[in-house]
A and B are shown apart, each in its own frame.
Chain A
Amino acid sequence: MIEIEGLSMDRDGVRVLDDVSLQIPDRSLTMLIGPNGAGKSTLLGLIARLLRPSAGHVRVDGLDVFRAASDAVARKLAILRQENHILPQLTVEELVGFGRYPHSRGRLAAEDRRQIADALHRANIAALAGRRLFELSGGQRQRAFLAMVLAQDTPYLLLDEPLNNLDPRQAISMMQVLRRAVTDLGKSIVMVVHDVNCASFYGDRIVAMNAGRLVAMGSPKDIVVPSTLRMIYGVDMSVHEVGGARIVQPFS
């Protein structure tokens, strides 16, 4: 379980995260939604100890992420950032291999190679394993970084807009992979999405943020209703029931 307690952060004198408390249960797919600048990336960055909070705690299975050794945390949780620095000459397979660093310290054993091959396959990028990053399209790059995070094989995954740049087919196959990771492998995933339908359809739970605060939390059925969406995004969306899931029609 991830326990977040009273987490706040100031950036350039502005409070961008304000007293957020939240628990992420095991074996769940949590969808983090909210308008641009709401503080979603900041929250994920804090949970993954990439940023330092002004106040508050984060514990992952009881491990205080801001105090614990970095590699101990790296075996508990993996994070995919919204943007990544590209080393042009790196091959996809080498990049994915870095996901094994917390386990292998740079010396890949047979188990590491198995995990790398598996992650390449699951992120649907195995066919391009030998390509260099500068030779890839945006969506292919995104899948390569996803594969790296999957190869880290941690119980918790934090994914900041993992569907960025993915075409509908790749997005669906990625969501299926993530869904199976939760249901079959017992992982816990927190992911940021802007597509409310994706959150509604695949999420066990939706957590909504606005202006640095949590503003709504609950099952898709609770959150995907016009009044709540209006509160989160400040825009009217009509909601329809399709095959048991709630679907929004955003453009009016």
Chain B
Amino acid sequence: MCALVEPRALRAGGRLLALAFVAVLAGVAFLTVGAKGDWGFVLSLRGGKLAGMVLVGVAIAVSTVLFQTVTRNRLLTPSVMGFDALYVALQTAIVFAFGAHGLAGIDPQLRFLLHVLLMLVVTGALFHGLIARTRGDLHLLLLSGVVFGLFCRSLTGFMQRVLDPNEFAVLQGLVFARFNTIEVTLLPVAGAALLAVLPLVWRLAPALDVLALGRDVAIGVGLDHDRIQRRTVALAAILVCVSTALVGPVLFLGILVSNLAYRLLASERHRDTLPAAALIAVTVLIGGQTLMERVVGLDIPLGVVIDFVGGGVFLLLLMRSQRE
């Protein structure tokens, strides 16, 4: 019997190695393609960007897989459920309440931690109840998420309109990060947050495998279901903070990479699917950026392209799930 398990583990390991190799290739290409002049300068400039994209890719991929396991639904991402809209709304609300200058006075790293804390409080209060109440009902959950996201976005829009132009300008600098202008000042603290979260996620992985079996089976085999669920949502929320702080909301990258990972690994184990999704996300981001910047030379922001492709995949999956 055991003999049946081992080759599969090996196969998953092989595929992860291959994915890692491709991700490293993309990284090397990003650092070197079209580089002229002073290598030290080029590498340090591009290195920061590269680090940012790695952080963002890992954070988006892992938060999406966590989220999909909690909701038992592979069409959802934290962004579809309005998590990153909430993050932006919280930031705006702080500027709104305390003024941009008060906010700008705080060290950006500290400010980030403050936002993480706020996110944890709000998502902890909101989403656990929401997931419990819409149990199993995809459409209700999706709808609640979309409405919640819209609500956060219009709240953000409203507050921004009411702000005076100076404050708005400061806010814009704070919350409208993009792939092309990654918030490099936040790299250390975002990196630290990611490094703190990932081991926790890894340790949680066997429990996540059980969580994915459904509430009844999970409780049946003795999982402390609600606690694990709350913990998972909290970890996902921190990861959303990491990616949103660095590059702003990215709607569909998570769906793209998580579903690719499930497909490629053909495994339900989180110790397979989590790293696979992370590696694919990093490859897509870095590879895409290399292509856009260096090869095609187009000035379309990468986020737009990713949301376009990812949105297509989302629609495709949605239509297929309708047919089944």
Contact = CB atoms under 8 A, between A and B. Distances in A.
Interface in B203-223: 206-207, 209-210, 212-217, 219-223
A75 interface: yes
Interface of A: 45, 48-50, 69-75, 78-79, 81, 84-85, 87, 89-91, 93-95, 98-99, 101-102, 105-107, 113, 116-117, 120, 126, 129-130, 132, 148-149, 152
Nearest to B220: A79
Contacts of B72: 85
B216 A79 contact: yes
B217 A85 contact: yes
Contacts of B219: 48-50, 70
A89 B268 contact: yes
Contact of A129 (B4, B216, B266, B267): B4
A99 B138 CA distance: 27
B225 interface: yes
17 contacts: A48-B220, A70-B223, A71-B224, A73-B222, A84-B217, A93-B5, A95-B213, A98-B209, A98-B217, A101-B222, A106-B207, A106-B209, A107-B206, A113-B2, A126-B1, A148-B217, A152-B221
Nearest to B207: A106
Contacts of A79: 216, 220
Interface of B: 1-2, 4-5, 8, 72, 206-207, 209-210, 212-217, 219-225, 262, 266-269
B215 to A, nearest CB: 8
The 5 lowest CB-CB distance pairs between A and B, nearest first, are A74-B222, A106-B206, A71-B222, A85-B214, A102-B222
Nearest to B265: A89
A3 to B, nearest CB: 20
A31 to B, nearest CB: 21
Contacts of A85: 72, 213-214, 217
Nearest to A117: B1
A98 B223 CA distance: 11
B222 A75 contact: yes
A93 B220 contact: no
A75, A94, A99, A102: which has the most chain B beta carbons within 10 Å? A94
B305 to A, nearest CB: 29
Given A94-B268, A98-B209, 18 more contacts: A45-B216, A48-B219, A70-B223, A73-B222, A84-B216, A85-B214, A89-B267, A93-B1, A93-B5, A98-B210, A101-B221, A101-B223, A107-B206, A117-B1, A126-B1, A129-B1, A130-B4, A132-B266
Contacts of B213: 85, 87, 95, 98
Contacts of A71: 222-224
Contact of B222 (A70, A84, A87): A70
A72, A87, A116: which has the most chain B beta carbons within 10 Å? A87
A99 B206 contact: no
Nearest to B212: A87
B221 A102 contact: yes
Contacts of B212: 87
B1, B206, B215, B269: which has the most chain A beta carbons within 10 Å? B1
Nearest to A79: B220
A50 B220 contact: yes
A73 B212 CA distance: 20
Nearest to A96: B1
A249 B96 CA distance: 76
Contacts of A94: 5, 268-269
A85 B138 CA distance: 14
A151 B223 CA distance: 16
Contacts of A74: 220-222
A101 B40 CA distance: 52
Contacts of B268: 87, 89-90, 94
Contacts of B224: 69-71
Nearest to B1: A117
Contacts of A72: 222
B144 to A, nearest CB: 19
Contacts of A102: 221-222
A84 B4 contact: no
A92 to B, nearest CB: 9
A85 B267 CA distance: 16
Nearest to B8: A91
A72 B223 CA distance: 10
A114 to B, nearest CB: 9
B1 A101 contact: no
A84 B214 contact: yes
Contacts of B262: 89
B89 to A, nearest CB: 33
Contact of A50 (B8, B210, B216): B216
A93 B269 CA distance: 13
A68 to B, nearest CB: 10
Contact of A113 (B1, B207, B216, B223): B1
Contacts of B267: 89
Contacts of B225: 70
